[in-house]
């Protein structure tokens, strides 16, 4: 009888926890950063929580460049974030900030300057690189 009450308690606890947002709030999801640009490479990816003003950007999530048509996976907990991507070519650096990126499942961010992919709520700052002599 004691065993049965333990099993019943475990089942009730499992059903209760699975129906609440506790499990979803601690889950990490895969965000694939895909370089959809044909002639630029990604040098940095940063995130910060959207709800906290004044929060600093995270450390760089990538350790190597993401070249055209390549991708890199990062893992982020469920929530709403700002995502900052630095894209470069020989002459310019492009600082792209995506506001209000809602992460609630695995997803792909296609990064591209000249195409319309994901650029609706993106702020792009273009900076010239110094001339190399």
- Sorted by sequence, the CB contacts under 8 Å of residue 113 that are 6+ apart come out as 37, 40, 87, 94, 96, 124
pLDDT band, very low/low/confident/very high, at 54 (cuts 50, 70, 90): confident
Residue 123 lies in a domain: yes
Residue 19 lies in a domain: no
Residue with tokens 């296609």: 110
Cα–Cα–Cα angle for 108, 116, 111, nearest 5°? Answer: 40
Instruction: Give me the count of residues in the chain.
Output: 133
pLDDT band, very low/low/confident/very high, at 27 (cuts 50, 70, 90): confident
Number of domains in the chain: 1
Q: Is the pLDDT of residue 75 over 70?
A: yes
Name the residue range of residue 81's domain.
28-128
CATH number of 123's domain: 2.60.40
Q: Is the pLDDT of residue 16 over 90?
A: no
Residue 50 lies in a domain: yes
What per-residue confidence (pLDDT) applies to 24?
A: 47
pLDDT band, very low/low/confident/very high, at 51 (cuts 50, 70, 90): confident
Q: Is the pLDDT of residue 22 over 90?
A: no
For residue 96, give the nearest of 108, 112, 84 by alpha carbon: 84
Q: Is the pLDDT of residue 53 over 80?
A: no
Residue 20 lies in a domain: no
Residue 77 lies in a domain: yes
Specify the DSSP class assigned to residue 66. B
Residue 32 lies in a domain: yes
């Amino acid at each position: 009888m004691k065993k049965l009450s333990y099993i019943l308690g475990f089942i009730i606890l499992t059903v209760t926890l699975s129906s609440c947002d506790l499990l979803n709030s601690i889950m990490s999801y895969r965000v694939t950063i895909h370089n959809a640009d044909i002639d630029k490479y990604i040098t940095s990816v940063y995130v910060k929580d959207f709800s906290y003003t004044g929060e600093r950007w995270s450390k760089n999530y990538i350790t190597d460049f993401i070249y055209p048509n390549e991708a890199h996976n990062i893992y982020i907990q469920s929530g709403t974030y700002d995502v900052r991507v630095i894209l470069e070519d020989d002459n310019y650096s492009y600082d792209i900030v995506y506001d209000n990126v809602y992460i609630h499942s695995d997803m792909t961010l296609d990064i591209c300057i000249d195409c319309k992919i994901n650029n609706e709520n993106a702020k792009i700052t273009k900076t010239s690189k110094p001339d190399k002599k």
